[in-house]
Amino acid sequence: MTIFTNARLIDPETQTDTLGWLRVEGDVIAESGAGTPPMGETVDCGGKCLAPGIVDLGVKVSEPGERHKESFASAGRAAAAGGVTTIVTRPDTLSAIDTPEVLEFVQRRAASDAIIKVKHLSALTKGREGREMVEIGFMRDAGAVAFTDCDHVIENTKVLQRALTYAKSCGALVIGHPQEPGLSKGAAATSGKFAALRGLPAVSPMAERMGLDRDLTLIEMTGVSYHFDQITTARALPALERAKQNGFDVTAGVSIHHLTLNELDVGDYRTFFKVKPPLRSEDDRLAMVEAVASGLIDVISSMHTPQDEESKRLPFEEAASGAVGLETLLPAALRLYHAGQLTLPELFRAMALNPAKRLGLASGRLTEGAPADLVLFDPDAPFVLDRFKLRSKSKNTPFDGARMQGIVKGTWVDGMRVFDG
Amino acid sequence: MAFRQKHLLGIEPLHPDEITTVLDVAERYVDLNRQADKHSDALKGLTQINMFFENSTRTQSSFELAGKRLGADVMNMAMQASSIKKGETLIDTALTLNAMHPDLLVVRHPHSGAVDLLAQKVNCAVLNAGDGKHEHPTQALLDALTIRRAKGRLHRLNIAICGDIAHSRVARSNLMLLGKMENRVRLVGPPTLVPQQFREFGCEIYDDMAEGLKDVDVVMMLRLQKERMDGGFIPSEREYFYRYGLDADKLAHAKPDAIVMHPGPMNRGVEIDGTIADDINRSVIQEQVEMGVAVRMAAMDLLARNLKASREEANGVMV
């Protein structure tokens, strides 16, 4: 039994931010309250924030295939240090996670190496090639929590329609990447003044809405449960809002990079800022922040994508996309808190409660009986990020050298301390 | 004299005074190039390496000639046939070359920003000879010199840049340079080839040649870059020529003394009528080529002076 005393409890379910204590019994949260805490072994939180551990939906761990970029061991350490207690891994590995056998392999690797909880996404089509659906039933039985081809948009609408119809019959959640593939082909930036100035191949932000519109139509046709991995443009929001109002089982996420950076951050072709979809305008960024605050966008993810130095030390067009984010998700998100745009309970609704609920996990809350997955952090403590101190094997963060606030003091998974900051 | 740059990567970082300085120095080299003895010792003892990752005849030979006339040791590397094909990265290639102690590196690359990347990794002066769809600064400078000589000034002119703006680094460098020197720039072409975002740089955009050319002082035609297109930008070359190709009828909308420019190589009968291109009263296309050598001599001369100054400073500190 452990009692966390003198804590600022961030409860995303009740949307409260109050001083109090929280008692953990074994691996679950037993009770919490204000006033005098019960007797027992205590952790004095010193008035800092105690929140449910982050559930990060859409993390790339480069096993199998590219373990030099990120392993379950290194990703686990990075997650623990970032206050992330559950990572939900992407299937865009080499090779793709598209059979129960490969899934079993990564589950075994995760169980033996990662110090935090790991859930796995499965590919939706074999090899993420958009031709034949995977064994959705078997994969569900084997533990896949949702199905996605990640950034490979299934171009053949008939294939997608069948996959969604079949997924619906299995009760499976499908995750899609809203993007019109023809328009976005080869694009390295969002079309606009900046891309024109830099001479970069660019995609209109409208390509996202076109992809979204198609997928929403198929959701209406099939009734499938669907989550959009990243909504990043203001013009896509009205359609999403309508779909939710019409009662479709649809949710949406956004990456932390699209909430805290804009296209101008690319500057002189800095490839660590090359992500997919490309960074957007400042207007779009602000619209996304507002959409998270209103709850229209449900989930904030790190979209952790490790890339080695070689794949980033290239001309911008040729450089690989993606940024690591497990350790920077919380401090970057706290920028929005310090800017007065989101409250801490709102942030943890999007980073813990909503992703857990969407995937049917019991974590992500401070409620009695929930797993004791917790993060203790000082939201104000300042630091300058040094990418070489990151625990990820890959160091491709856009926040290198950035002044940030928010230091994780401790992370607990099922009541066990996995990080001491 | 004001020219403080370590590299010439684009027009964007240049101050208007620096542009004027390059053009003034280039004027002197125009005179030199017209003499029987065209030799100067400005780059004596220095090594110039031309790295072209993309095919080029005109720009490469212009840089080569410029270097040779200034007394540099010039080496051309045909990068398409070299180690890039063997999987070497751009940065490794740069480091390899850097170890040979070049003083001036002239680089053309098919990707925007590649020359910037390379410049960060070497300790010599780098000249951008064209990177992707980004910049081609010496082309803009030679165009500016041509305009200044033909019009007697480089400000308050109406200049139309016509044709394939989208794929053109020449257009980007030119509209930036002409904007910095306080000219009015119009972009004219089919909307599929003229990014509307350029409005935000202060350009006016036209999709009709007659309107776009009305009363302009300078008509700058661009080559239709078929090799950069993946299809579907224009319905056919003949329709393109009919609607956007420069012929006598369309040119009649410009001022009577308007000059016609083209960075070459030309597609006669696609973006420009042959008789206009060859009309010595209107076309300054041959003059552009001549100015090209002089401007490149000036740019390399100025960069070499800064390079020598910074090396002397470094040596001074050591003593």
Q: Note the pLDDT tens digit of each residue in B140-167.
A: 999 999 999 999 999 999 999 999 999 9
Nearest CA in chain B to A194: B197
Does A377 fall in a domain? no
Interface test with B, best of A197, A270, A273, A281 (most B CBs within 10 A): A197
Whether A34 is covered by a domain: the verdict is no
Residue A374 maps to a domain: no
Of B89, B91, B112, the CB nearest to A198: B112
Q: What is the pLDDT of residues B267-287, one digit of tens each?
A: 999 999 999 999 999 999 999
- DSSP codes, chain B: -----S-B--STT--HHHHHHHHHHHHHHHHHHTSS-----TTTT-EEEEEESS--SHHHHHHHHHHHHTT-EEEEEEGGGSGGGGT--HHHHHHHHHTT--SEEEEEESSTTHHHHHHTT-SSEEEEEEETTTB-HHHHHHHHHHHHHHHS-SSS-EEEEES--TT-HHHHHHHHHHHHTT-EEEEES-TTTS-GGGGGGT-EEES-HHHHTTT-SEEEE----GGG--S-SSS-HHHHHHHHSB-HHHHTTS-TT-EEE--S---BTTTB-HHHHT-TTTB-HHHHHHHHHHHHHHHHHHHHHHHHHHHHHHHHHH-
Query: In chain A, which stretches have pLDDT less than 50?
Result: none
| B93-103 pLDDT, tens digit each | 888 889 999 99
Closest-CA distance, B6 to chain A, in angstroms, reads: 16
Please report the pLDDT score of residue A207 as a whole number.
97
- Per the domain annotation, does A159 fall within a domain? yes
Q: Which structure tokens are listed for A152? A: 């490979």
Angle ∠(B244,B245,B246) on CA atoms, nearest 5: 115
Contacts of A192 in chain B (CB under 8 A): 197
Write the CATH number for A176: 3.20.20.140
Q: Quickly state the pLDDT bin for B88 (edges 50, 70, 90).
A: confident
- The answer to the question of residue A18 being in a domain is no
- Please tell me the predicted confidence (pLDDT) of residue A156: 96
- Residues in A closer than 8 angstroms to B91, CB to CB, are 313
Q: Is residue A314 in a domain?
A: yes
Q: What is the pLDDT of residues B243-262, one digit of tens each?
A: 999 999 999 999 999 999 99
Both tokens of A312, joined, read 């980033």
Cα-based distances in Å from B240 to B213, B221, B224, B230: 16, 13, 10, 17
Query: Chain B partners of A198 at a C-beta cutoff of 8 Å?
Result: 112-113, 134
User: pTM of this prediction?
Assistant: 0.89
Residues of A in contact with B133 (CB under 8 A): 199-201
- With a CB cutoff of 8 Å and minimum separation 6, the contacts of A369 are A28, A29, A362
Residue A264 tokens read as 């101008």
Q: How far apart are CA A2 and CA B256, in angstroms?
A: 90
How does the average pLDDT of chain B come out, rounded?
92
A196–B114: do the CB atoms touch at under 8 Å? no
Distance between A198 CA and the closest CA of chain B, angstroms: 5
The owner of tokens 């910095």 is B180
Q: What local confidence, expressed as pLDDT, does residue B319 receive?
A: 45
Report the pLDDT value the prediction gives residue A158, as an integer from 0 to 100: 96
Which of B133, B175, B192, B203 to mutate against chain A (most A CBs within 10 Å)?
Answer: B133
pLDDT at B87 over 70: no
Whether A10 is in a domain gets the answer no
The domain tally of chain A equals: 1
8 Å CB contact of B117 and A193? no
Q: Any idea which residue has 């480069």 for tokens?
A: A62
Chain B contact set for A195 (CB, 8 A): 197
Q: Examine the pLDDT at B1 and tell me if it is beyond 70.
A: no
Highest average pLDDT, of A319-328, B195-204, B223-232, comes from A319-328
Q: Enumerate the residues of chain A whose CB falls inside 8 A of the CB of residue B116.
A: 268-269
- Give the distance from residue B38's alpha carbon to the nearest chain A alpha carbon, in angstroms: 37
Q: Do A269 and B113 touch (CB under 8 A)?
A: yes
CB contact under 8 A, B112 and A193: no
Domain carrying residue A127: 53-363+382-400
**A13 in a structural domain:** no
Question: What pLDDT was estimated at residue B82?
Answer: 59
| A275 SS3 class | coil
0.85 surpassed by complex ipTM: no
